[in-house]
Amino acid sequence: MMWSTTAHILAPSLAGCAYFYYCDPRGHLVLIATLSTYSILAVQDYLALGSIPHAAYHALLAVAAQMLLVTLAVVAYRLSPLHPLWKFPGPMLERITSLRMAYFANTGRRTPYVAELHEKYGTFVRIGPNKLSIKSVDAIHPIYASAQAFDKAISYRMGLIQNNSLFFLRDKPAHGRSKRVWSGALTNHAINQWDGPMENRTTQLIDCMARRQDSSGVVDLSTCFQHWSFDFDGDWALGEGQHDSIEFMRDGDPAGVVESGEQAILMLETFGEVPALFDIISSLPINDGYLKLEKLAHKELRKRLKTDTQNGWDLFSFLMAQRDDYTQAPMNETDLHTSAVLAFDAGGDTTAGFLSLTMFHLLHNRSSYIKLRQELDDTFPSGELTAEQHAALADLPYLGAVVNEGLRVGAAFPGFPRVVPPGGALLAGQFVPGGTIVGVPSFAVHTDPANFWPEPCAFRPERWFEDGLGPGTVTRREAFMAFQFGPFRCVGKGLALREMHVVLSRLLLAYDLEFAPDFDPEAFLKGWSNTRTNVIRYHLRVQAKRRQR
């Protein structure tokens, strides 16, 4: 009896340890194996003892003992010198589990926490059992930008949900094919086609702000930016006039679609830290709240797929053309659907967040605001900025510096996770074993005095000019990671910059803006968290007065 009990506990425990050691554990398989083991043990005990409560209880004890043994073995291994990442420093808890990092990702604390860990431990920090954060510009090129840039890590796997849209593709050839299609929709020539709709949408934004002002002229600018961004994204992704339920500047967003998109990203980031748990969570029926954006995108896409407009400049004209191109792997309905959601998540929320942050810093640093307004007034003395003039905004030096600086202080991504190829790699002077997940934390790099000096944490657009903050100004452009580098870099960079240039310029030409009288800048900064996109919990509220000319 004793021998058989020991075998019941030890054999599955050893199998469990071997699985955890050799494989990337899939949560649902672990769950199924545990439940199966429990059932087998319970049936065996029932056949031997003839009592259901006893059999259930004994099996529970045996499975609990197995889980305890596996957990102890895994913890011992992760802390031991046998672990390949043994030599790298990091907090004890992160060496054992990624659960705390997942919690911080969920609460928006992950970015500052990783930056604090680098302050304490230096360039390399073990921030997960098999994960290193490397705060070094030297690591950017080999990990992200080189011809042999590393693959995306399993953090980009959405549990059991199938998602073959560009951002989630980890297979390089498939990713490359998809990227070519998206890139076609985002060339300079393609972006220029959107100047007209962008001009219309920005005129709507100016009117929308006027409509939403309260009696003292105060308006929630963060919400206006979100609505502008989703409306324009709808045009760009699905075609102008093709999405009548994504008109948030006109109709508002009573269903909370924008927030639902943020929630979905939060879920992805949280469980991206513990992909095995994502396998389980993603197979459960989840709260509908996360799916509002998905459902809306799906509804609009179904309508879009029925139209004949395949020769436009919108993303779906390109994606549908690829679907009909039989030299490529076919895009099915699910792929198109996930691409529509990606267009809103990657394009809408990101730009809106950066617009809020950049405008906040401009209003907080009045001299920068005045300099930018002067540059715009000198260039557009009538106060009018037409669609044909959009592209030329890229040549305005102070506007460019303001946008770069907004992206530098706001790009709080905690590190885009990639996998070191088999055989390992030399990164920032240290050998890192194959299979390790690595990332360079952009916020820590962007605020490192070695890369941006003086006042690395302050919003100072002048730093983007030579010696702009005095002799010895350090501005290492190779450390500027806002759009990432290499094969997985942001495909929407050109469009995002155009959007930021146009919206900021039109707003400063149209309005005199300042913080609302009761607006608290500290609360804004406290309420800002980065989960991948910037989440602004305490919205930017401004007093806006139409400028007279």
> Which residues line the annotated binding site for heme?
490
- Contacts with ligand HEM, 23-42, as mask; x by CB under 6 A: --------------------
**3-class SS letters over 322-340:** HHCCCCCCCCCHHHHHHHH
> To the nearest whole angstrom, how small is the minimum distance from the Cβ of residue 499 to ligand HEM?
6
> Which of 111, 123, 136, 351 is in the footprint of ligand HEM by CB under 6 A?
351
Nearer to ligand HEM by C-beta: 12 or 461?
A: 461
Non-local (6+) Cβ contacts of 475 within 8 A are 452, 463, 464, 468
Residues 379-408 that bind ligand HEM (CB under 6 A): 407
Nearer to ligand HEM by C-beta: 354 or 398?
A: 354
> Which of 12, 128, 239, 347 is in the footprint of ligand HEM by CB under 6 A?
347
> To the nearest whole angstrom, how small is the minimum distance from the Cβ of residue 79 to ligand HEM?
30
Scanning 199-207, 213-221, 246-254, 349-357 for contacts with ligand HEM by CB under 6 A, the matching segment is 349-357
Under DSSP, the state recorded for 540 is -
Known binding residues are: 490
Nearer to ligand HEM by C-beta: 51 or 162?
A: 162
> To the nearest whole angstrom, how small is the minimum distance from the Cβ of residue 228 to ligand HEM?
12
Nearer to ligand HEM by C-beta: 469 or 507?
A: 507
> Which of 113, 167, 316, 443 is in the footprint of ligand HEM by CB under 6 A?
167
Q: Which amino acid is residue 357, in one-letter code?
A: L
Structure tokens that stand for 61 in this block: 């004890």
Does residue 346 belong to the site contacting ligand HEM (CB under 6 A)? yes
Nearer to ligand HEM by C-beta: 139 or 407?
A: 407
Strands annotated E in 315-383: none
Beta-carbon count within 10 A of 447 CB? 18
Nearer to ligand HEM by C-beta: 98 or 350?
A: 350
Helix, strand, coil share (%) of the chain residues, nearest 5: 60, 10, 30
Rounded to an integer, what distance in angstroms lies between the CA atom of residue 179 and that of residue 192? 20
Residues 447-486 that bind ligand HEM (CB under 6 A): 482-484
Residue 452 CA to its chain's centroid (Å) = 23
> Which of 104, 488, 511, 519 is in the footprint of ligand HEM by CB under 6 A?
488
Question: Helix crossing, 333-342 with 292-306: angle to 10°?
Answer: 120
Residues 404-433 that bind ligand HEM (CB under 6 A): 407, 411, 416
- Burial category of 152 from C-beta neighbours within 10 Å (exposed 0-12, middle 13-18, buried 19 and up): buried
**Closest residue by beta carbon to ligand HEM:** 492
Q: How far lies 513's CA from each of 45, 203, 206, 488, 536, in Å?
A: 75, 17, 12, 37, 19
> Which of 354, 398, 524, 528 is in the footprint of ligand HEM by CB under 6 A?
354
Q: How far lies 310's CA from each of 192, 238, 294, 403, 492, in Å?
A: 18, 10, 22, 34, 21
Rounded to an integer, what distance in angstroms lies between the CA atom of residue 222 and that of residue 348? 13
Nearer to ligand HEM by C-beta: 204 or 350?
A: 350
Structure tokens that stand for 398 in this block: 């102070």
> To the nearest whole angstrom, how small is the minimum distance from the Cβ of residue 365 to ligand HEM?
20
> Which of 179, 295, 299, 547 is in the footprint of ligand HEM by CB under 6 A?
179
Nearer to ligand HEM by C-beta: 96 or 343?
A: 343
> To the nearest whole angstrom, how small is the minimum distance from the Cβ of residue 346 to ligand HEM?
4
> Which of 204, 350, 368, 505 is in the footprint of ligand HEM by CB under 6 A?
350
Residues 39-68 that bind ligand HEM (CB under 6 A): none
Under DSSP, the state recorded for 187 is S
Residues 312-331 that bind ligand HEM (CB under 6 A): none
- Give the chain's length: 549
Non-local (6+) Cβ contacts of 32 within 8 A are none
Size of the site for ligand HEM (CB under 6 A): 22
> Which of 16, 104, 492, 511 is in the footprint of ligand HEM by CB under 6 A?
492
Nearer to ligand HEM by C-beta: 229 or 263?
A: 229
Non-local (6+) Cβ contacts of 438 within 8 A are 131, 132, 133, 134, 139, 143, 150, 417, 418, 419, 420, 427, 432
> To the nearest whole angstrom, how small is the minimum distance from the Cβ of residue 497 to ligand HEM?
8
> To the nearest whole angstrom, how small is the minimum distance from the Cβ of residue 325 to ligand HEM?
20
Strands annotated E in 101-160: 124-128, 131-134, 151-152
- Contacts with ligand HEM, 263-282, as mask; x by CB under 6 A: --------------------
Nearer to ligand HEM by C-beta: 13 or 350?
A: 350
| DSSP string over 47-69 | HHH--HHHHHHHHHHHHHHHHHH
Which residues would be at the binding site for ligand HEM (CB under 6 A)? 166-167, 179, 182, 342, 346-347, 350-351, 354, 407, 411, 416, 482-484, 488, 490-492, 495-496
